[in-house]
Chains A and B, each alone.
Chain A
Protein backbone atom coordinates (compact mmCIF):
# COMPACT_ATOMS: atom_id res chain seq x y z
CA UNK A 1 0.00 0.00 0.00
CA UNK A 2 1.31 3.43 -0.96
CA UNK A 3 0.24 6.12 1.47
CA UNK A 4 0.96 9.78 0.93
CA UNK A 5 0.64 11.84 4.09
CA UNK A 6 0.46 15.67 4.08
CA UNK A 7 3.04 15.95 1.30
CA UNK A 8 4.11 19.50 0.48
CA UNK A 9 6.64 21.12 -1.80
CA UNK A 10 7.09 24.79 -2.63
CA UNK A 11 9.21 26.54 -5.24
CA UNK A 12 9.73 30.04 -3.93
CA UNK A 13 6.23 31.24 -3.13
CA UNK A 14 4.49 28.69 -5.35
CA UNK A 15 3.06 25.63 -3.65
CA UNK A 16 3.53 22.93 -6.28
CA UNK A 17 2.28 20.22 -3.94
CA UNK A 18 0.12 21.41 -1.09
CA UNK A 19 -0.64 19.11 1.82
CA UNK A 20 -1.55 16.13 -0.36
CA UNK A 21 -2.83 13.04 1.45
CA UNK A 22 -3.71 10.00 -0.65
CA UNK A 23 -3.85 6.22 -0.46
CA UNK A 24 -3.15 3.90 -3.35
CA UNK A 25 -4.36 0.41 -2.53
CA UNK A 26 -2.30 -2.60 -3.60
CA UNK A 27 -3.17 -3.61 -7.15
CA UNK A 28 -5.10 -0.43 -7.89
CA UNK A 29 -5.06 1.50 -11.18
CA UNK A 30 -5.32 5.23 -10.66
CA UNK A 31 -5.24 8.13 -13.09
CA UNK A 32 -3.90 11.48 -11.94
CA UNK A 33 -5.41 14.32 -13.91
CA UNK A 34 -5.44 18.07 -13.71
CA UNK A 35 -4.77 21.18 -15.78
CA UNK A 36 -1.26 22.15 -16.83
CA UNK A 37 0.72 23.32 -13.84
CA UNK A 38 -1.49 21.39 -11.43
CA UNK A 39 1.57 19.73 -9.89
CA UNK A 40 1.11 16.24 -11.34
CA UNK A 41 4.73 15.74 -12.42
CA UNK A 42 5.99 17.36 -9.21
CA UNK A 43 3.88 14.85 -7.30
CA UNK A 44 5.61 12.01 -9.19
CA UNK A 45 9.01 13.64 -8.74
CA UNK A 46 8.46 13.76 -4.98
CA UNK A 47 7.40 10.12 -4.75
CA UNK A 48 10.37 8.91 -6.82
CA UNK A 49 12.99 11.03 -5.07
CA UNK A 50 13.77 13.39 -7.95
CA UNK A 51 12.65 16.18 -5.60
CA UNK A 52 12.83 16.29 -1.82
CA UNK A 53 9.55 17.21 -0.13
CA UNK A 54 9.44 20.14 2.30
CA UNK A 55 7.25 18.07 4.59
CA UNK A 56 5.07 14.97 4.67
CA UNK A 57 5.50 11.24 4.39
CA UNK A 58 5.59 8.74 1.54
CA UNK A 59 4.87 5.36 3.09
CA UNK A 60 5.28 2.20 1.04
CA UNK A 61 4.06 -0.72 3.14
CA UNK A 62 4.77 1.34 6.22
CA UNK A 63 8.32 2.43 5.29
CA UNK A 64 8.77 6.18 4.93
CA UNK A 65 10.59 6.96 1.67
CA UNK A 66 10.27 10.75 1.80
CA UNK A 67 13.55 12.48 0.98
CA UNK A 68 15.42 9.31 0.03
CA UNK A 69 17.49 9.08 -3.16
CA UNK A 70 15.98 7.72 -6.41
CA UNK A 71 18.06 4.49 -6.32
CA UNK A 72 16.93 3.77 -2.76
CA UNK A 73 13.29 4.38 -3.63
CA UNK A 74 13.56 2.16 -6.71
CA UNK A 75 15.03 -0.61 -4.58
CA UNK A 76 12.05 -0.32 -2.24
CA UNK A 77 9.78 -1.05 -5.19
CA UNK A 78 8.65 2.18 -6.84
CA UNK A 79 9.37 2.18 -10.58
CA UNK A 80 8.84 5.05 -12.94
CA UNK A 81 8.54 5.88 -16.64
CA UNK A 82 8.93 9.41 -17.95
CA UNK A 83 6.86 11.83 -20.00
CA UNK A 84 9.64 12.07 -22.57
CA UNK A 85 10.96 8.52 -23.03
CA UNK A 86 14.11 8.30 -20.94
CA UNK A 87 16.23 5.53 -22.40
CA UNK A 88 19.83 4.62 -23.22
CA UNK A 89 20.28 5.57 -26.88
CA UNK A 90 23.33 3.47 -27.72
CA UNK A 91 22.14 0.22 -26.10
CA UNK A 92 19.93 -2.30 -27.85
CA UNK A 93 16.57 -3.22 -26.36
CA UNK A 94 17.95 -6.50 -25.06
CA UNK A 95 21.07 -4.92 -23.61
CA UNK A 96 18.95 -2.31 -21.88
CA UNK A 97 16.85 -5.00 -20.24
CA UNK A 98 19.78 -7.21 -19.28
CA UNK A 99 21.75 -4.27 -17.94
CA UNK A 100 18.81 -3.08 -15.86
CA UNK A 101 18.28 -6.53 -14.34
CA UNK A 102 22.03 -6.98 -13.89
CA UNK A 103 22.25 -3.68 -12.02
CA UNK A 104 19.24 -4.66 -9.95
CA UNK A 105 20.67 -8.02 -8.92
CA UNK A 106 23.96 -6.45 -7.86
CA UNK A 107 25.59 -9.80 -7.35
CA UNK A 108 29.27 -10.15 -6.56
CA UNK A 109 29.70 -11.57 -10.06
CA UNK A 110 28.83 -8.31 -11.78
CA UNK A 111 32.47 -7.46 -12.34
CA UNK A 112 33.63 -10.51 -14.18
CA UNK A 113 30.70 -12.24 -15.83
CA UNK A 114 28.75 -11.43 -18.94
CA UNK A 115 25.05 -11.92 -18.20
CA UNK A 116 25.37 -15.43 -16.91
CA UNK A 117 22.39 -15.93 -14.69
CA UNK A 118 19.40 -17.68 -16.22
CA UNK A 119 17.27 -15.58 -13.88
CA UNK A 120 18.68 -12.37 -15.42
CA UNK A 121 17.87 -13.54 -18.92
CA UNK A 122 14.41 -14.77 -17.97
CA UNK A 123 13.44 -11.50 -16.35
CA UNK A 124 14.72 -9.49 -19.33
CA UNK A 125 12.91 -11.81 -21.72
CA UNK A 126 9.64 -11.54 -19.81
CA UNK A 127 9.73 -7.75 -19.81
CA UNK A 128 10.41 -7.66 -23.57
CA UNK A 129 7.57 -10.09 -24.23
CA UNK A 130 5.16 -8.16 -22.02
CA UNK A 131 5.83 -4.89 -23.80
CA UNK A 132 5.92 -6.46 -27.27
CA UNK A 133 9.56 -5.53 -27.80
CA UNK A 134 10.99 -9.03 -28.22
CA UNK A 135 11.08 -8.79 -32.02
CA UNK A 136 13.06 -5.54 -31.74
CA UNK A 137 15.57 -6.85 -29.23
CA UNK A 138 18.60 -6.11 -31.39
CA UNK A 139 17.54 -2.59 -32.37
CA UNK A 140 19.40 0.20 -30.66
CA UNK A 141 17.11 2.37 -28.58
CA UNK A 142 17.91 5.50 -30.60
CA UNK A 143 16.50 3.90 -33.77
CA UNK A 144 13.15 2.84 -32.24
CA UNK A 145 9.93 4.69 -33.04
CA UNK A 146 8.59 7.15 -30.48
CA UNK A 147 5.97 4.64 -29.31
CA UNK A 148 8.50 1.85 -28.91
CA UNK A 149 10.81 4.18 -26.99
CA UNK A 150 7.95 4.87 -24.58
CA UNK A 151 7.35 1.12 -24.26
CA UNK A 152 11.05 0.57 -23.61
CA UNK A 153 10.93 3.24 -20.92
CA UNK A 154 8.05 1.39 -19.27
CA UNK A 155 9.83 -1.95 -19.72
CA UNK A 156 12.83 -0.47 -17.88
CA UNK A 157 10.66 0.30 -14.90
CA UNK A 158 8.79 -2.99 -15.09
CA UNK A 159 11.82 -5.24 -15.40
CA UNK A 160 12.77 -4.32 -11.84
CA UNK A 161 9.59 -5.97 -10.51
CA UNK A 162 8.19 -2.83 -8.85
CA UNK A 163 5.35 -2.90 -6.37
CA UNK A 164 4.19 0.48 -7.63
CA UNK A 165 4.59 1.71 -11.22
CA UNK A 166 4.29 5.43 -11.93
CA UNK A 167 3.72 6.35 -15.56
CA UNK A 168 4.07 10.01 -16.45
CA UNK A 169 1.86 10.55 -19.50
CA UNK A 170 2.43 7.22 -21.22
CA UNK A 171 0.56 8.45 -24.31
CA UNK A 172 2.32 11.83 -24.63
CA UNK A 173 3.17 12.76 -28.20
CA UNK A 174 1.23 9.89 -29.78
CA UNK A 175 -1.47 9.80 -32.44
CA UNK A 176 -5.00 8.65 -31.55
CA UNK A 177 -4.60 5.02 -32.59
CA UNK A 178 -1.17 4.72 -30.97
CA UNK A 179 -2.58 6.21 -27.75
CA UNK A 180 -5.19 3.52 -27.47
CA UNK A 181 -2.66 0.80 -28.22
CA UNK A 182 -0.44 2.16 -25.49
CA UNK A 183 -3.19 2.49 -22.95
CA UNK A 184 -4.48 -1.01 -23.71
CA UNK A 185 -0.95 -2.19 -23.05
CA UNK A 186 -0.86 -0.32 -19.73
CA UNK A 187 -4.15 -1.90 -18.71
CA UNK A 188 -2.92 -5.32 -19.79
CA UNK A 189 0.24 -4.87 -17.71
CA UNK A 190 -1.79 -3.86 -14.71
CA UNK A 191 -4.05 -6.87 -15.02
CA UNK A 192 -1.25 -9.36 -15.65
CA UNK A 193 1.31 -8.06 -13.18
CA UNK A 194 -1.13 -7.25 -10.39
CA UNK A 195 0.89 -4.21 -9.35
CA UNK A 196 -0.22 -0.76 -8.28
CA UNK A 197 -0.24 1.53 -11.32
CA UNK A 198 -0.58 5.31 -11.13
CA UNK A 199 -0.55 7.23 -14.39
CA UNK A 200 -0.83 10.85 -15.44
CA UNK A 201 -3.02 11.39 -18.48
CA UNK A 202 -4.49 14.34 -20.35
CA UNK A 203 -6.86 12.45 -22.63
CA UNK A 204 -10.12 12.33 -20.68
CA UNK A 205 -11.65 9.68 -22.95
CA UNK A 206 -8.83 7.36 -21.99
CA UNK A 207 -8.99 8.26 -18.31
CA UNK A 208 -12.69 7.69 -17.93
CA UNK A 209 -12.60 4.49 -19.96
CA UNK A 210 -9.81 2.64 -18.19
CA UNK A 211 -9.15 4.14 -14.76
CA UNK A 212 -11.15 2.65 -11.87
CA UNK A 213 -9.82 5.42 -9.60
CA UNK A 214 -9.11 9.04 -10.41
CA UNK A 215 -7.26 11.77 -8.54
CA UNK A 216 -7.72 15.36 -9.67
CA UNK A 217 -5.00 17.84 -8.78
CA UNK A 218 -5.27 21.60 -9.13
CA UNK A 219 -2.71 24.16 -7.97
CA UNK A 220 -0.95 21.43 -6.01
CA UNK A 221 -4.04 20.46 -4.01
CA UNK A 222 -6.38 17.52 -4.32
CA UNK A 223 -9.55 18.73 -5.95
CA UNK A 224 -11.30 15.38 -5.96
CA UNK A 225 -10.66 11.66 -5.73
CA UNK A 226 -12.87 8.67 -6.41
CA UNK A 227 -14.56 6.60 -9.10
CA UNK A 228 -14.86 8.06 -12.61
CA UNK A 229 -18.58 8.78 -12.32
CA UNK A 230 -18.21 10.64 -9.06
CA UNK A 231 -15.29 12.66 -10.38
CA UNK A 232 -17.16 13.48 -13.57
CA UNK A 233 -20.09 14.85 -11.58
CA UNK A 234 -17.95 16.78 -9.13
CA UNK A 235 -18.80 20.45 -9.52
CA UNK A 236 -15.36 21.71 -8.56
CA UNK A 237 -13.72 19.41 -11.11
CA UNK A 238 -16.13 20.49 -13.85
CA UNK A 239 -15.45 24.10 -13.13
CA UNK A 240 -11.69 23.88 -12.79
CA UNK A 241 -10.82 21.31 -15.40
CA UNK A 242 -13.36 19.21 -17.28
CA UNK A 243 -15.84 21.79 -18.49
CA UNK A 244 -19.43 20.88 -19.21
CA UNK A 245 -18.79 18.37 -22.01
CA UNK A 246 -17.91 15.39 -19.83
CA UNK A 247 -20.61 16.32 -17.33
CA UNK A 248 -23.18 16.20 -20.12
CA UNK A 249 -21.84 12.82 -21.28
CA UNK A 250 -22.12 11.50 -17.75
CA UNK A 251 -25.72 12.68 -17.55
CA UNK A 252 -26.57 10.76 -20.72
Chain B
Protein backbone atom coordinates (compact mmCIF):
# COMPACT_ATOMS: atom_id res chain seq x y z
CA UNK B 1 0.00 0.00 0.00
CA UNK B 2 1.44 3.34 -0.97
CA UNK B 3 1.36 6.27 1.40
CA UNK B 4 -1.10 8.02 -0.88
CA UNK B 5 -3.46 5.06 -0.86
CA UNK B 6 -3.10 4.74 2.85
CA UNK B 7 -3.83 8.40 3.26
CA UNK B 8 -6.93 8.34 1.10
CA UNK B 9 -8.28 5.28 2.78
CA UNK B 10 -7.57 6.54 6.25
CA UNK B 11 -9.19 9.89 5.45
CA UNK B 12 -12.48 8.14 4.97
CA UNK B 13 -12.19 5.35 7.45
CA UNK B 14 -10.28 6.61 10.37
CA UNK B 15 -11.17 10.26 10.75
CA UNK B 16 -14.71 9.40 11.68
CA UNK B 17 -13.37 7.12 14.36
CA UNK B 18 -11.27 9.64 16.23
CA UNK B 19 -13.67 12.52 15.75
CA UNK B 20 -16.57 10.55 17.04
CA UNK B 21 -17.61 9.87 20.58
CA UNK B 22 -17.30 6.27 21.74
CA UNK B 23 -20.00 4.30 20.02
CA UNK B 24 -19.85 0.55 20.60
CA UNK B 25 -23.62 0.66 21.00
CA UNK B 26 -24.05 1.90 17.45
CA UNK B 27 -21.87 -0.94 16.16
CA UNK B 28 -23.90 -3.40 18.22
CA UNK B 29 -27.13 -2.05 16.72
CA UNK B 30 -25.75 -2.34 13.18
CA UNK B 31 -24.60 -5.89 13.91
CA UNK B 32 -28.02 -6.74 15.29
CA UNK B 33 -29.74 -5.23 12.24
CA UNK B 34 -27.52 -7.22 9.87
CA UNK B 35 -28.24 -10.39 11.82
CA UNK B 36 -32.00 -9.76 11.69
CA UNK B 37 -31.86 -9.19 7.91
CA UNK B 38 -29.84 -12.38 7.41
CA UNK B 39 -32.14 -14.32 9.75
CA UNK B 40 -35.19 -13.14 7.81
CA UNK B 41 -33.70 -14.19 4.47
CA UNK B 42 -35.06 -17.76 4.64
CA UNK B 43 -38.58 -16.29 4.86
CA UNK B 44 -38.04 -14.37 1.64
CA UNK B 45 -36.50 -17.17 -0.33
CA UNK B 46 -36.53 -20.92 -0.13
CA UNK B 47 -33.36 -21.15 -2.22
CA UNK B 48 -31.09 -23.62 -0.45
CA UNK B 49 -28.32 -22.48 -2.74
CA UNK B 50 -28.53 -18.92 -1.41
CA UNK B 51 -28.57 -20.03 2.23
CA UNK B 52 -25.62 -22.35 1.57
CA UNK B 53 -23.84 -19.43 -0.04
CA UNK B 54 -24.32 -17.33 3.12
CA UNK B 55 -23.02 -20.18 5.32
CA UNK B 56 -19.92 -20.50 3.15
CA UNK B 57 -19.55 -16.70 3.25
CA UNK B 58 -19.64 -16.91 7.04
CA UNK B 59 -16.88 -19.55 7.13
CA UNK B 60 -14.59 -17.92 4.56
CA UNK B 61 -15.53 -14.37 5.60
CA UNK B 62 -14.42 -14.88 9.21
CA UNK B 63 -11.25 -16.52 7.96
CA UNK B 64 -10.45 -13.77 5.41
CA UNK B 65 -11.34 -10.87 7.73
CA UNK B 66 -9.16 -12.32 10.48
CA UNK B 67 -6.34 -12.62 7.95
CA UNK B 68 -6.81 -8.93 7.17
CA UNK B 69 -6.21 -8.10 10.84
CA UNK B 70 -2.74 -9.50 10.21
CA UNK B 71 -2.10 -8.38 6.63
CA UNK B 72 -3.92 -5.05 6.39
CA UNK B 73 -3.81 -3.78 9.96
CA UNK B 74 -0.50 -5.11 11.25
CA UNK B 75 1.49 -5.63 8.05
CA UNK B 76 2.05 -9.32 8.84
CA UNK B 77 1.58 -11.22 5.60
CA UNK B 78 0.87 -14.74 6.77
CA UNK B 79 1.01 -17.52 4.17
CA UNK B 80 -0.06 -20.04 6.77
CA UNK B 81 -3.23 -18.60 8.27
CA UNK B 82 -5.22 -21.47 6.74
CA UNK B 83 -3.71 -23.84 9.32
CA UNK B 84 -6.05 -22.36 11.92
CA UNK B 85 -9.02 -22.79 9.61
CA UNK B 86 -8.05 -26.47 9.29
CA UNK B 87 -7.35 -26.73 13.00
CA UNK B 88 -10.82 -25.40 13.76
CA UNK B 89 -12.48 -27.87 11.39
CA UNK B 90 -10.48 -30.90 12.59
CA UNK B 91 -10.50 -29.91 16.25
CA UNK B 92 -14.25 -29.48 16.31
CA UNK B 93 -14.95 -32.54 14.14
CA UNK B 94 -12.73 -34.81 16.20
CA UNK B 95 -14.10 -33.48 19.45
CA UNK B 96 -17.65 -34.24 18.36
CA UNK B 97 -16.79 -37.64 16.89
CA UNK B 98 -14.51 -38.95 19.63
CA UNK B 99 -15.82 -37.41 22.82
CA UNK B 100 -19.49 -36.80 22.13
CA UNK B 101 -19.55 -33.61 24.17
CA UNK B 102 -22.16 -30.90 23.62
CA UNK B 103 -21.61 -28.58 20.64
CA UNK B 104 -20.84 -25.45 22.72
CA UNK B 105 -18.29 -27.41 24.77
CA UNK B 106 -16.57 -28.64 21.60
CA UNK B 107 -16.67 -25.09 20.23
CA UNK B 108 -14.96 -23.61 23.29
CA UNK B 109 -12.51 -26.53 23.57
CA UNK B 110 -11.51 -26.08 19.91
CA UNK B 111 -10.92 -22.38 20.51
CA UNK B 112 -8.78 -23.30 23.53
CA UNK B 113 -6.70 -25.72 21.43
CA UNK B 114 -6.33 -23.08 18.71
CA UNK B 115 -5.28 -20.56 21.34
CA UNK B 116 -2.47 -22.78 22.60
CA UNK B 117 -1.25 -23.79 19.13
CA UNK B 118 -1.39 -20.18 17.85
CA UNK B 119 0.46 -18.98 20.94
CA UNK B 120 3.33 -21.40 20.37
CA UNK B 121 3.53 -20.89 16.59
CA UNK B 122 3.03 -17.13 16.92
CA UNK B 123 5.73 -16.78 19.59
CA UNK B 124 8.19 -18.20 17.07
CA UNK B 125 6.89 -16.49 13.92
CA UNK B 126 6.20 -12.90 14.98
CA UNK B 127 9.85 -12.35 15.82
CA UNK B 128 10.53 -12.65 12.10
CA UNK B 129 10.05 -9.96 9.52
CA UNK B 130 8.36 -9.85 6.14
CA UNK B 131 9.26 -12.76 3.86
CA UNK B 132 10.73 -14.80 6.73
CA UNK B 133 7.50 -14.45 8.68
CA UNK B 134 5.51 -15.41 5.58
CA UNK B 135 7.54 -18.52 4.88
CA UNK B 136 7.81 -19.77 8.45
CA UNK B 137 4.02 -19.52 8.82
CA UNK B 138 3.78 -21.47 5.57
CA UNK B 139 6.19 -24.06 6.97
CA UNK B 140 4.01 -24.52 10.07
CA UNK B 141 0.97 -24.86 7.86
CA UNK B 142 2.67 -27.66 5.90
CA UNK B 143 3.68 -29.29 9.17
CA UNK B 144 0.07 -29.38 10.35
CA UNK B 145 -1.12 -30.56 6.93
CA UNK B 146 1.46 -33.35 6.91
CA UNK B 147 0.43 -34.38 10.43
CA UNK B 148 -3.19 -34.62 9.32
CA UNK B 149 -2.20 -36.75 6.32
CA UNK B 150 0.10 -39.08 8.23
CA UNK B 151 -1.84 -39.57 11.48
CA UNK B 152 -4.40 -41.74 9.71
CA UNK B 153 -5.78 -43.43 12.84
CA UNK B 154 -6.91 -40.09 14.24
CA UNK B 155 -7.61 -37.89 11.22
CA UNK B 156 -8.50 -40.38 8.52
CA UNK B 157 -5.47 -39.29 6.48
CA UNK B 158 -6.18 -38.08 2.97
CA UNK B 159 -9.77 -39.28 3.22
CA UNK B 160 -10.51 -36.76 5.95
CA UNK B 161 -12.95 -37.12 8.84
CA UNK B 162 -15.64 -39.30 7.38
CA UNK B 163 -18.90 -40.63 8.73
CA UNK B 164 -20.32 -37.21 9.49
CA UNK B 165 -19.98 -35.03 12.53
CA UNK B 166 -22.58 -35.82 15.20
CA UNK B 167 -24.54 -32.72 16.14
CA UNK B 168 -26.67 -33.40 19.19
CA UNK B 169 -29.26 -30.65 19.80
CA UNK B 170 -28.46 -28.11 22.51
CA UNK B 171 -30.58 -25.30 23.97
CA UNK B 172 -33.27 -26.05 21.41
CA UNK B 173 -30.82 -25.68 18.51
CA UNK B 174 -30.42 -28.63 16.17
CA UNK B 175 -27.48 -28.08 13.85
CA UNK B 176 -28.45 -31.02 11.67
CA UNK B 177 -31.41 -28.86 10.68
CA UNK B 178 -30.29 -26.73 7.74
CA UNK B 179 -32.18 -23.63 8.90
CA UNK B 180 -30.74 -23.86 12.40
CA UNK B 181 -27.24 -24.26 10.97
CA UNK B 182 -27.86 -21.22 8.79
CA UNK B 183 -28.97 -19.05 11.72
CA UNK B 184 -26.07 -20.15 13.92
CA UNK B 185 -23.59 -19.51 11.10
CA UNK B 186 -25.03 -16.02 10.58
CA UNK B 187 -24.84 -15.36 14.33
CA UNK B 188 -21.20 -16.47 14.48
CA UNK B 189 -20.38 -14.36 11.43
CA UNK B 190 -22.01 -11.22 12.84
CA UNK B 191 -20.56 -11.68 16.33
CA UNK B 192 -17.11 -12.41 14.84
CA UNK B 193 -17.20 -9.35 12.58
CA UNK B 194 -18.48 -7.19 15.44
CA UNK B 195 -15.66 -8.31 17.72
CA UNK B 196 -13.02 -7.89 15.02
CA UNK B 197 -14.34 -4.41 14.26
CA UNK B 198 -14.10 -3.48 17.93
CA UNK B 199 -10.51 -4.68 17.96
CA UNK B 200 -9.68 -2.78 14.75
CA UNK B 201 -11.15 0.50 16.04
CA UNK B 202 -9.78 0.22 19.57
CA UNK B 203 -6.54 1.81 20.79
CA UNK B 204 -5.04 -1.65 20.32
CA UNK B 205 -6.14 -1.56 16.67
CA UNK B 206 -4.28 1.72 16.29
CA UNK B 207 -1.26 0.17 17.97
CA UNK B 208 -1.35 -2.43 15.19
CA UNK B 209 -1.50 0.29 12.52
CA UNK B 210 1.50 1.99 14.13
CA UNK B 211 3.43 -1.26 14.03
CA UNK B 212 2.49 -1.69 10.36
CA UNK B 213 3.63 1.84 9.50
CA UNK B 214 6.80 2.03 11.59
CA UNK B 215 7.55 -0.73 14.08
CA UNK B 216 10.79 0.88 15.26
CA UNK B 217 9.06 4.13 16.19
CA UNK B 218 6.29 2.14 17.86
CA UNK B 219 8.84 0.56 20.18
CA UNK B 220 10.16 4.04 21.05
CA UNK B 221 6.76 5.11 22.31
CA UNK B 222 6.68 2.19 24.69
CA UNK B 223 4.89 -0.42 22.60
CA UNK B 224 6.05 -3.99 23.07
CA UNK B 225 5.91 -4.84 19.37
CA UNK B 226 6.42 -8.57 19.82
CA UNK B 227 3.62 -8.85 22.36
CA UNK B 228 1.19 -6.80 20.26
CA UNK B 229 1.96 -8.89 17.16
CA UNK B 230 1.57 -12.12 19.13
CA UNK B 231 -1.75 -10.94 20.57
CA UNK B 232 -3.24 -10.19 17.17
CA UNK B 233 -1.77 -13.41 15.72
CA UNK B 234 -3.58 -15.44 18.38
CA UNK B 235 -6.83 -13.46 18.11
CA UNK B 236 -6.85 -13.79 14.31
CA UNK B 237 -6.25 -17.53 14.71
CA UNK B 238 -9.33 -17.83 16.96
CA UNK B 239 -11.57 -16.19 14.34
CA UNK B 240 -10.07 -18.31 11.55
CA UNK B 241 -10.69 -21.38 13.67
CA UNK B 242 -14.34 -20.34 14.11
CA UNK B 243 -14.58 -20.13 10.31
CA UNK B 244 -13.17 -23.65 10.12
CA UNK B 245 -15.76 -24.93 12.60
CA UNK B 246 -18.59 -23.45 10.52
CA UNK B 247 -17.15 -25.18 7.46
CA UNK B 248 -16.88 -28.51 9.33
CA UNK B 249 -20.52 -28.21 10.38
CA UNK B 250 -21.54 -27.27 6.84
CA UNK B 251 -19.88 -30.23 5.10
CA UNK B 252 -20.26 -32.46 8.17
CA UNK B 253 -16.63 -33.45 8.01
CA UNK B 254 -13.11 -32.14 7.74
CA UNK B 255 -10.68 -32.68 4.89
CA UNK B 256 -6.92 -32.18 4.55
CA UNK B 257 -7.59 -29.44 1.96
CA UNK B 258 -8.93 -27.29 4.82
CA UNK B 259 -5.41 -27.15 6.25
CA UNK B 260 -3.53 -27.05 2.93
CA UNK B 261 -1.57 -23.99 1.82
CA UNK B 262 -4.14 -23.31 -0.89
CA UNK B 263 -6.59 -22.18 1.80
CA UNK B 264 -4.09 -19.58 2.95
CA UNK B 265 -3.57 -18.63 -0.70
CA UNK B 266 -7.30 -18.22 -1.13
CA UNK B 267 -7.36 -16.00 1.97
CA UNK B 268 -4.72 -13.73 0.42
CA UNK B 269 -6.59 -13.89 -2.90
CA UNK B 270 -9.84 -12.83 -1.18
CA UNK B 271 -8.08 -9.95 0.56
CA UNK B 272 -6.62 -8.79 -2.74
CA UNK B 273 -10.02 -9.00 -4.39
CA UNK B 274 -11.85 -7.09 -1.68
CA UNK B 275 -9.05 -4.82 -0.51
CA UNK B 276 -7.14 -4.56 2.74
CA UNK B 277 -7.61 -0.88 3.59
CA UNK B 278 -11.25 -1.27 4.61
CA UNK B 279 -12.65 -3.47 7.33
CA UNK B 280 -15.35 -4.95 5.07
CA UNK B 281 -13.03 -5.44 2.08
CA UNK B 282 -12.39 -9.11 2.89
CA UNK B 283 -16.15 -9.79 3.27
CA UNK B 284 -16.77 -8.29 -0.18
CA UNK B 285 -13.80 -10.27 -1.45
CA UNK B 286 -15.25 -13.46 0.03
CA UNK B 287 -18.58 -12.97 -1.73
CA UNK B 288 -16.82 -12.17 -5.02
CA UNK B 289 -14.50 -15.14 -4.67
CA UNK B 290 -17.29 -17.62 -3.95
CA UNK B 291 -19.45 -16.28 -6.78
CA UNK B 292 -16.50 -16.48 -9.16
CA UNK B 293 -15.60 -19.96 -7.98
CA UNK B 294 -19.15 -21.25 -8.26
CA UNK B 295 -19.88 -19.78 -11.69
CA UNK B 296 -16.52 -20.45 -13.29
CA UNK B 297 -16.23 -24.06 -12.09
CA UNK B 298 -19.66 -24.69 -13.61
CA UNK B 299 -18.57 -23.33 -16.99
CA UNK B 300 -15.02 -24.63 -17.35
CA UNK B 301 -12.68 -27.04 -15.70
CA UNK B 302 -9.88 -24.50 -16.20
CA UNK B 303 -11.26 -22.27 -13.47
CA UNK B 304 -7.77 -21.66 -12.10
CA UNK B 305 -6.87 -19.77 -15.27
CA UNK B 306 -9.94 -17.54 -14.96
CA UNK B 307 -9.29 -16.82 -11.29
CA UNK B 308 -5.67 -16.05 -12.13
CA UNK B 309 -6.72 -13.55 -14.79
CA UNK B 310 -9.15 -11.90 -12.37
CA UNK B 311 -6.50 -11.47 -9.68
CA UNK B 312 -4.10 -10.11 -12.30
CA UNK B 313 -6.75 -7.59 -13.29
CA UNK B 314 -7.12 -6.44 -9.68
CA UNK B 315 -3.40 -6.50 -8.88
CA UNK B 316 -2.03 -4.97 -12.08
CA UNK B 317 -5.07 -3.19 -13.51
CA UNK B 318 -6.71 -1.59 -10.47
CA UNK B 319 -3.65 -2.05 -8.20
CA UNK B 320 -6.07 -2.42 -5.32
CA UNK B 321 -9.05 -4.39 -4.10
CA UNK B 322 -12.64 -3.61 -5.02
CA UNK B 323 -13.50 -1.84 -1.75
CA UNK B 324 -10.27 0.20 -1.89
CA UNK B 325 -11.25 1.25 -5.40
CA UNK B 326 -14.79 2.19 -4.35
CA UNK B 327 -13.57 4.19 -1.33
CA UNK B 328 -10.99 6.03 -3.42
CA UNK B 329 -13.59 6.84 -6.05
CA UNK B 330 -15.95 8.08 -3.34
CA UNK B 331 -13.27 10.31 -1.77
CA UNK B 332 -12.34 11.83 -5.13
CA UNK B 333 -15.98 12.45 -5.96
CA UNK B 334 -16.57 14.13 -2.60
CA UNK B 335 -13.48 16.28 -3.02
CA UNK B 336 -14.57 17.33 -6.52
CA UNK B 337 -18.04 18.28 -5.32
CA UNK B 338 -16.43 20.15 -2.40
CA UNK B 339 -14.27 22.14 -4.82
CA UNK B 340 -17.30 23.01 -6.93
CA UNK B 341 -19.34 24.30 -3.99
CA UNK B 342 -16.41 26.33 -2.65
Give A197 Cβ to nearest chain B Cβ, in Å: 17
A90 within 8 A of B: yes
- The verdict on A80 contacting B220 (CB below 8 Å), with A112-B202, A140-B6 known, is yes
Contact check, A99 vs B214: say whether CB atoms are below 8 A apart.
no
Tell whether A94 is near chain B: CB-to-CB under 8 Å: yes
Tell me whether A88 and B22 are in contact (CB under 8 A): no
A98 cross-chain contacts in B, Cβ below 8 A = 18, 203, 206
Does B10 lie at the interface of the complex (its beta carbon under 8 Å from any beta carbon of A)? yes
Check B221–A104 contact: CB distance below 8 A. Answer: yes
The residues of B that contact A100 with a CB separation of less than 8 Å are: 210, 221
Contact indicator per residue, chain B 240-270, by CB within 8 Å of chain A (1) or not (0): 0000000000000000000000000000000
> Does A17 interact with chain B (Cβ within 8 Å)?
no
Partner of A156, one of B1, B10, B221: B221
When A92-B15, A98-B18 are in contact, do A103 and B3 touch as well, CB less than 8 Å?
A: no
Q: Is the CB of A89 within 8 A of B6?
A: yes
Known contacts being A92-B18, A140-B7, is A113 close to B222, with CB within 8 Å? no
Query: Closest chain A residue to B209 by CB distance?
Result: A91
Residues from chain A with a CB closer than 8 A to the CB of B222 are 71, 74-75, 103-104, 160
Q: Do B217 and A87 have beta carbons less than 8 Å apart?
A: yes
A111:B202 contact, CB within 8 angstroms: yes
Q: Are B219 and A91 in contact (CB under 8 A)?
A: no
The reply to whether B213 and A90 form a contact with Cβ atoms under 8 Å apart is: yes
| Nearest residue, chain B, Cβ from A142 | B3
Q: Are the C-beta atoms of B219 and A88 separated by less than 8 Å?
A: no
Q: How large is the interface on A (under 10, 10 to 19, 20 to 34, 35 or more residues)?
A: 35 or more
Total residue contacts A-B, CB cutoff 8 A: 140
A116 CA to B202 CA, complexed, in Å: 9
Contact with B along A86-122 (1 / 0, CB 8 A): 1111111011101110111100011111111000100
Partner of A114, one of B1, B202, B210: B202
Q: How many residues of B contact A (CB 8 A)?
A: 40
Task: List the A residue with the shortest CB-CB distance to B9.
Answer: A90
Q: Does B300 contact A (CB under 8 A)?
A: no
Of residues 209 to 239 in B, which have CB atoms within 8 Å of A's CB atoms? 209-210, 212-214, 216-225
Give chain A residues whose Cβ lies under 8 Å from the Cβ of B6. 89-90, 140, 142
Chain B residues in 8 Å Cβ range of A116:
22
Give Cα distance in the complex from A74 to B222, angstroms: 5
B24 at the interface (CB under 8 A from A): yes
Cβ of A86 and Cβ of B15 under 8 Å apart? no
Among the listed B15, B24, B213, B219, which residue makes an inter-chain contact with A89, where contact means beta carbons less than 8 Å apart?
Answer: B213
Q: A48-B220, A98-B18, A160-B222 are in contact. Are A110 and B213 (CB under 8 A)?
A: no
A111 and B204 CA atoms in complex are apart in Å by: 6
* Contacts A74-B220, A102-B203; A114 near B23 (Cβ below 8 A): yes
Is A70 in contact with chain B by the CB < 8 A criterion?
yes
**A10 within 8 Å of B by Cβ?**
no
**Given the complex, which residues of B lie within 8 Å of A160, measured CB to CB?**
221-222
Q: List 7 A-B contacts (CB under 8 A).
A: A91-B14, A95-B18, A96-B210, A99-B209, A102-B206, A112-B199, A138-B15
15 additional A-B pairs beyond A89-B7, A156-B217, beta carbons within 8 Å, are A70-B219, A86-B214, A86-B216, A87-B217, A88-B218, A91-B210, A91-B213, A95-B17, A99-B209, A99-B210, A103-B223, A104-B222, A111-B198, A111-B204, A114-B22
